[in-house]
Structure 1
Amino acid sequence: MTVSQKNVLEWISPDLPGPADILSTMVRVPRGSTMDAVGTALGALIGRQEALRTLVRDGEQFVHASGTLVAEVVEAESAGAGQGWFPPGRAFDPAADLPIRARVMTRSGSPCLVVLHVSHVAADLSAMTILRAELAALLAGRPLPVAAYHPADQATYERTPAGRRRLEGSVRYWARQVAEKPLCALGLPTRFPGARGHHHVLLGSRPAAEALAHIVANTGARPAAVVMAAFAALLTNWTGDPECQLHCLCNNRFSPELRDYVGTVAQETIIPFTASSSFLRSVSQTNAAALAAYRYGRYDSVRLFEAKDSVERARGMRCHRDVVVNNTTGHARVILPRAGVEPGAGDRAFDAPAELDIYRLDGTLGCGLGLDARLATADETAALLGGVERLIVAAAAAAAADGGDGDVDPAGFGIPPAQRGPGWVRIRSCWVDLAGVQAAADLALGPGAARIEVAGDELVARVGHDTDVSAAAGAVVDTVLREGRHGVVAPSHYVRAADWERSAR
């Protein structure tokens, strides 16, 4: 298998598919087409793309030379077919099922729409765009160039000396990033401890899209990098932390052979961000950081996990995955506001405390923001996302007014900096709630069994001379991770105190 196939198999659900386990797309059928023509087009699509007839099991991929795809046919007047969209059904079994399903919607017996559901093991979002375009061409009778590069070819390359060097270089790069990453980038007071879930808001803005185009033309940055820089600038202003790291997917299609490749090659990258009083400088730095991260976007997830685990053990605990950016331009089915910010539908589930979705970049800037309800109000969430729009518009206006050199300070946008109480301290680029850490230690070891202190840039737990330090350390780390509270991290060192009284003096 390719490393990306193995990566997907690590996290997809074998029983109940999640929203990313199965990818879907729709293709309209030209008027006058017959069901036979649709079947011929689907057969040609599967025939030209090996990924759609590949099974994976026991670390290998098996490409079928022939087979049968049974497509479901649904009349438009039937219940639930009015929108032309259908749920993907049960999870794919990568070892037994062809990784594609098709439904054909008809009107008065004539095909009008084809819905494809594809296993994420066989395709990522970029590959779905390619499949949609190819099926549309096949349905219209347009010729297509030969598909020359397939997952088996990618697996072969990854086993060459050059391929192995590239993968190992990526592992070393990401291990360094983990070693330098703050343990907790959202060290914020839990102002609403009883709240559950996330506040979710959506942005739709034509003026911001026009302003974005101007900034891209002046800076040469990628549009998504401008939006990420605006969001990160406002986020760091709110958290009072000058640095954060954005977790986002890289499509990994920079090599010529991968541009039209149908397979899964996208993997998560980490883009570091450092706050600046110059928005244009932030854009330039974010764009450069993204390009640097993309160079190492392909890696063996098993090897990377081993390297990360070693680094995190040395640091004392696992790093939080605090800030996620999802760039789904061209694939989102969300209904955006006509203008400004509105509450989201409320049916979206979020993994990270802060999650920015980029839905559209041209014509209309479309974004969504989910923010942990324990940290902020709904109004603050809306103001933070609205600040992204205002910052981008203001930056373009300043540049236009000064011949392309004008700039703005992001500190004037978004929401005010968070207020922390006296019990918060800054330790190794993290804001830490000392009382919260003490509470976690008391919960793990019993009240008074450990005393949490700050020693220089270290968080230290002093324990009694008869304490099993290794077991105590593990219990505290487990409790911190289980509690999932922001601003609570595990001590760096566990110091034996022979005598509590003498230690206290």
Structure 2
Amino acid sequence: MSDLKVRFSGPRSGRWPMTVGQKNVLEWISPDLPGPADILSTMVRVPRGSTMDAVGAALGALIGRQEALRTLLRDGEQLVRASGTLLAEVVEATGTGQGWFPPGRAFDPAADLPVRASVVTRSGSPFLVVLHVSHVAADLSAMAVLRAELAALLAGRSLPPAAYHPADQAVHELSPAGRRRLEGSVRYWARQVAERPLCALGLPFRFPGARGHHHVLLGSRPAAEALARIAANTGARPPAVVMAAFAALLTSWTGAPGCQLHCLCNNRFSPELRDYVGTVAQETIIPFTASPSFLRSASQTNASALAAYRYGRYDPARLTEAKDEVERARGTRCHRDVVVNNTTGHARVILPGDGVEPGVGDRVFGAPAEFDIYRLDGTLGCGLGLDARLATADETAGILGGVERLIVAAADGDVDPAGFGVPPAGRGPGWARTRSGWVDLAGVQAAADLALGPGVARVEAVGDELIARVGRDTDVTAAAGAVLDTVLREGRHGVVAPGDYVRATD
């Protein structure tokens, strides 16, 4: 069957600056091979008896009403097209439908309409529409809006006009109030980066030859019941309780006093953004501090999350500049170690019936540790991936299983997280704890030798300070700058520029 020609037109077109959300996605989206989050997909059932013309009209109406779906991004601007034609592939259903329509090649934001559509037929009649949307045009919340609106249009229901679009968001961000908010967010995040070490996984590669991540999944009805009780007793939101349980066991395993949880914030707290189709979700950092009281940790994590979400929108270029300044001041890279993905309401993962099982499929992880929250009601569903160079499969399963045991135990009263999870990971004699966190002394020495030449500086930990002893004729300022540049260029976990240089006196 030939492709379905979907004609669309909208009430407005033109050029506007990009939003910070669009800039944020363009920083990490792949120009060649789409990554796991570059293209978002959804499926909508077609009402029985619908014609192919009706499906085309519904798709055209959806693209016409939502400017994000007819927008190109070029040279710092968003170009909203007035009209055009989308070719939707039409395929007769075969098999179970798994893999009917893979997302295909990466979208080119400067040239491609950021939406693809496919229509699945049975005996020639449409019964399913599949949408693939570039992340520059929609985030997960926006995909839920598109799914609901397409279902309504396919059913013949009328919709009120879409009143707020990326162009309107760009205008707001350039207003005095919008600028103040964005600058305030950059200052907030720069302060967070400066005050808290991000190298929670400052661990040696115990298994340097390993590849990929160990991946495990958890499904637990008892933990879901316990979670609801903890949330009711503490006032903490269920996702914050689950994050606190995972972070408590992770820090116990790494021997760190805390960690930073990199989480997406949907940024849809304003009324005009409730049904907004565009990308406004951005990554936030939720600080976690280890405590012998799990309920205290859960409450503190909840409060930290609410504070972080206030600053969820920011200019990524400005934040990168601020972070670069902080990294030079601290003498270490700010690693993105621990990522938490809360995909409740969007995930389609098949969870274990009870307990922890190895994950299946070709899941790709972008950070050393990724913790996924898939489901909270009825069953607690979570996933954990740990870099196989850092952890064993048993440690990965033990940490995730500990999340279940910790939450179930805490429903009956406060508990110390140290009694759950797995034993601490060993670092060996070459590591020391300083104010910068766990430091690989041999790695720092290697960086100093690379920058200055072998033996010019001798690195050691004195108390909680990392110092370098140099000869009396050494230019300390130049040496410190050279070592810092090498440390930042290498970007290795546990490798930190010395905080002080001591010149020999004899």
**What is the TM-score when the length of structure 2 is the normalising length?**
0.91
> Over aligned residue pairs, what C-alpha RMSD do you find?
2.0
Instruction: Name which of 487, 494, 498 aligns with 1:477.
Output: 487
Which position in structure 2 is the counterpart of 1:186?
201
Partner of 1:33: 50
The answer to whether the 8 A contact 2:70-2:80 is kept is yes
Structure 1, residues 140-199: CA drift from partner, whole Å, max 9, x if none?
223323221111111111111111110010010001001012152122343223322211
CA distance in 1, matches of 2:69, 2:335: 36
Are the equivalent residues in 2 in contact too, given 1:84–1:113 (CA < 8 A)? Answer: no
Partner of 1:425: 432
Q: State the shift of 1:351 in Å.
A: 1.9
Deviates more, 1:59-68 or 1:269-278: 59-68
1:309 is displaced (CA, Å) by 1.0
Cα displacement (A) at 1:444: 5.4
CA offset digits 1:458-498 (Å, max 9, x no partner): 322334535752663156315642xx3x43333234x3746
Determine the C-alpha separation between the residues in 2 that align with 1:386 and 1:369. Answer: 10
The answer to whether the 8 A contact 1:50-1:63 is kept is yes
Q: Determine if contact 2:70/2:114 at 8 Å carries over to the other structure.
A: yes
**Equivalent in 83, 87, 91 of residue 70 of structure 1:** 87
Secondary structure of the residue aligned to 2:214 is strand
Q: Does 1:20 align with 2:37?
A: yes
Which residue does the alignment assign to 1:401? none
Greater mean deviation of Cα atoms: 213-222 or 460-469? 460-469
2:300 matched residue in structure 1: 285
> Hey, what's the Cα distance between the residues in 2 that align with 1:172 and 1:70?
45
CA distance in 2, matches of 1:157, 1:478: 36
Runs of 4+ in 1 over 6 A off after TM superposition: none
2:259 corresponds to: 244
Q: CA shift at 1:435, angstroms? A: 3.0
Write out per-residue CA displacement over residues 302-358 of structure 1, whole angstroms, 9 at most, x where no aligned residue: 111111111111111221111111112222232211111111125222222111011
SS in 1 for 2:87: coil
2:22 corresponding residue in structure 1: 5
Moved more, 247-256 or 181-190: 181-190
Note the alpha carbon deviations across 1:425-445, whole angstroms, 9 max, x for none: 221150223233324444555
**Secondary structure class of the residue paired with 1:299:** coil
Asked whether 1:327 is paired with 2:342, we answer yes
Partners of 2:198 and 2:259 within 8 A in 1: no
| One-letter identity of the residue aligned with 1:56 | L
* Matches for 1:201-212 after TM superposition, within 5 Å: 201-212=216-227
Q: For residue 50 of structure 2, what is the amino acid of its counterpart? A: S
Indicate conservation of the 8 Å contact 1:30/1:140, yes or no: yes
Which sections of structure 2, spanning at least 5 residues, go unmatched? 1-17
The CA deviation at 1:40 is 1.2
**TM-score of the aligned structures, taking structure 1 as reference length:** 0.91
Q: CA deviation at 1:134?
A: 1.1
Alignment of 1:245-264 (within 5 A): 245-264=260-279
Give the structure 1 partner of residue 9 of structure 2: none
**Rounded Cα–Cα distance in structure 2 between residues aligned with 1:55 and 1:121:** 9
Contact 1:480/1:489, CA 8 A, preserved across alignment: no
TM superposition shift of 1:84: 5.9
Give the match for residue 395 of structure 1: 410
How far did residue 392 of structure 1 move?
A: 1.1
Instruction: Tell whether the 8 Å contact from 1:85 to 1:115 is kept in structure 2 after alignment.
Output: no
Query: 5+ unaligned residues in a row in structure 1: which ranges?
Result: 399-405
In the other structure, the counterpart of 1:171 is 186
Contact kept in structure 2, 1:181 and 1:319, CA below 8 Å: no
Aligned length: 486
SS for the counterpart of 1:69 is strand
The residue that corresponds to 2:137 in the other structure is 122
- Counterpart in the other structure of 1:460: 467
> Larger deviation: 38-47 or 167-176?
38-47
Report deviation, 1:370.
0.8
Please say if residues 445 and 476 of structure 1, whose CA atoms lie closer than 8 Å, have aligned partners that are also in contact. Answer: no
Partner amino acid for 2:119? V
In 2, Cα distance between equivalents of 1:432 and 1:498: 24
Other-structure match for 1:402: none
Distance in 2 between residues matched to 1:286 and 1:244, nearest whole Å: 11
| Alignment correspondent of 1:365 | 380
Candidates 326, 332, 342, aligned match of 1:317: 332
Secondary structure of 2:239 counterpart: helix
Task: Name the counterpart of 1:101.
Answer: 116
Shift of 1:219: 2.5
Q: Does 1:449 align with 2:456?
A: yes
**Deviations 1:390-415, CA, capped at 9 Å, x for gaps:** 1111122x0xxxxxxx2222111111
